[in-house]
Amino acid sequence: MAPLWHASVAGSRNTSLRRPRRALRRIILLSIAVISTIGVSSLLYVFVIAKLRFRWDLGWFDLGLYGFYRTKSYVSFDYESPLVDILQWDPRCETGFIFLAPRGDSISHPGPMILDSNGNLVWMKEIHEVTQDFRVQRYQGRDYLTYWTGNAAGGHGRGSWHMLDSSYTERYVVSAVGDFDGDLHEFKITENDTALVTIYDPVPADLSSIGGPESGWIFDGVFQEIDIATGELIFEWRASEHFPINSSFLELDGRGHNKETAFDFFHINSVDKDPWGNYLVSARNTHTISSIDSNTGVLLWTLGGHLNEFTDLSGGAATNFSWQHDARWHGNNTLTILDNGAHSHLDPARQSRGMAIELDIPARLATLQTEYFNPQELKSSSQGNLQVLEDAGNVFIGWGSSAAFSEFDINGTLLCDVHFGASAYFTFQRVVSYRVYKGPWVGNPLTRPAARWAGNKIYVSWNGATEVAEWQLEVELGLELNGVQYEVADRIPKEGFESTITIPQGNRNNRFRVAALDKQGKVLGVTDVPARKSGWIDEEPLRLELYILVGGCLVASFIHLLDSNLFSVACKHNLKQLSPSSGSYCNHNVGSTAGAEKDASPHDVSDSLGQASPHVGLIQEIRARLEHSCRARQPPSLGNRVMYRLTSDAISPTDQYS
């Protein structure tokens, strides 16, 4: 058997060898932890934090405390509509309706939607396909609601255009001429009752000028002018025949090798006609507004981008627009656009703006007339529009990927600003509307008004009816020779989308109906006799304060229950050694005050565990807190310290107690 000192030396050598290895392992693990933390933080910053738009002036709505898309539900209507946040209001915004088509991951009922100027729902239609470009347009002397539906991918779409009359009946479906699918960006009805539409057509192209393959592919920007009544093609134009590939500002980024990944060098997003019958085309990816001859298709002039032909008399402010949308021609040689100013949230911080630009076409001079900015400095990286309102001459802007719309006077002063999504999260695009328009509309639906009876109230609405001024509650009297007779029981003004009528007290008749009246008192329609609805009716959405109160109570109850259980277990099993006598600590100390003070001496505890214990100070603190808690019959508050299990041999940490 080897001498004891040999074993000791060997043991010390092994220990000395193990220590550097352990230290090395710790360094490696610590390095991995640091690198992982940095990596996760970087990913969070790129994909989450960098996208957030927190500002000091954001309210609860914009901070998202009501969700990304706050909605209102109804009793007499099955769908939900947005609850908008009006940040600024002016009486000059009172007239007209708002036309939008919300979509995104937070939208449960996507489709075209009409709101009044105060944000109340007027009409909506659920469409599960993507819906874009919803507005009112005039065709053959009548107003129609028009919109595009179809499948969208890669920034363009494949679908068709729909036209609804004032009764919300579909009268026309317009498709692109030839072997094409209609794109989502444009459907403009001209004064000649023709339609201007956009198309994205994948075609072979040489991409060597921008570092791509010679046998590559592009999405060609195409527009057509179509006779709506006959479906006849009047005019067709292709960007690839007039614009070089290297005029694009979009990076190739590995695209263009096949038809499925075709390079979108042009990205046509609006087409209009000027007073001379020529076409005005906006191309997002070339940063250009171009005029195209309606007979030959040749470029007459180009504003902006690499091919700009105009001298900027505003120091560059009239021609430095980028990634723009919605170019429209107006009188006095003026055009308007929405200058997005960004292609993604990672682009340099520059806010989007509306622009009015005056052109001297023969002299090729451009002057910036007016700019329109949102007070929250919105950066809409995609979509959007600018509309000059015909009645007052105000300027109305839909901010595209930012779920907001604003109205300005002609000089650029903000009048009204409305959000229908939380602005702190606009860059996530969970709520968007490609365009938002404003204008007059008269809707006379063929459906009946809807009513539901619950408790002593009747809830009534009429989806799409714009001319209702009052609701009239009528009580059934009985059947006579002329049919069922009704007596007027009450009349209330229409307020918002859904109104509530209280049934008069003392009325024992169980058969009612509600009539919709216009401003002259004429009956526009009547409901069926509503059946009585049982159960709880959610008349008002729960307020934020109530959510916080309920959540706080639940958390407090859970913590109290957890604390009580931990305290009970600790008193019964772990703290007997705190007293020199047998029995639980609590039972021993709830006697006389003098006895408690005597037994609470720290020397008793330190003696029972040994004078050499390094934890005497902590034990004294724990014992003092427990003594106070047991007297009050409450769990102890130990802050964020570590709870210790006390035994006759040692003190070992157990769990975090807070």
Q: Domain locations in the chain? A: 20-51, 60-439, 450-533, 544-656
Low-confidence stretches of the chain (pLDDT beneath 50): 1-2, 4-10, 44-45, 536, 539-543, 545, 566-615, 618, 630, 632-658
d(CA 81, CA 63): 20
pLDDT of residue 210: 97
Look up tokens 């719309």; give the residue: 405
pLDDT of residue 534: 54
pLDDT of residue 36: 75
Look up tokens 């029972």; give the residue: 608
d(CA 384, CA 287): 15
Tokens for 75, please give them: 């009793």
pTM of structure: 0.77
CATH number, domain 60-439:
2.120.10.30
| Contact between 411 and 401 (Cβ < 8 Å) | no
pLDDT of residue 164: 99
- Secondary structure, 3-state, 597-636: HHHCCHHHHHHHHCCCCCCHHHHHHHHHHHHHHHHHCCCC
Q: Are strands 414-419 and 97-100 parallel, antiparallel or unpaired?
A: unpaired
Q: Are strands 142-153 and 156-164 parallel, antiparallel or unpaired?
A: antiparallel
For residue 385, CA distances in Å to 83, 167, 186, 353, 438 come to 22, 27, 11, 10, 11
Residue 373 makes CB contacts below 8 A (sequence gap 6+) with 351, 353, 354, 412
With CA atoms as reference, report the closest residue to 484 among 529, 452, 446: 529
d(CA 586, CA 73): 55
Within 278-364, strands assigned E span: 279-283, 288-292, 299-303, 311-312, 325-330, 334-339, 353-360
Q: Around 46, how many Cα atoms within 13 Å sit in the side-chain half-sphere?
A: 6
Identify the CATH assignment for 450-533 out of 2.60.40, 3.40.630, 1.20.1260, 1.10.8. 2.60.40
d(CA 231, CA 219): 24
pLDDT of residue 562: 52
pLDDT of residue 588: 40
pLDDT of residue 567: 45
pLDDT for 328-387, tens place per residue? 999 889 999 999 999 987 777 689 999 999 999 999 999 999 999 999 999 999 999 999
Mean pLDDT of the chain: 83
For residue 507, CA distances in Å to 475, 488, 510, 511, 527 come to 9, 12, 8, 10, 19
| Contact between 248 and 266 (Cβ < 8 Å) | yes
d(CA 309, CA 299): 11
d(CA 449, CA 454): 17
Within 331-434, strands assigned E span: 334-339, 353-360, 365-372, 385-388, 395-398, 404-408, 414-419
Question: Distance between terminal CA atoms of the chain?
Answer: 55
DSSP SS3 for 318: coil
pLDDT of residue 336: 99
Amino acid identity for residue 191 in this structure:
E
Fold match between domain 60-439 and domain 450-533: no
DSSP SS3 for 16: helix
pLDDT of residue 504: 86
For residue 120, CA distances in Å to 98, 115, 461, 534 come to 10, 5, 12, 27
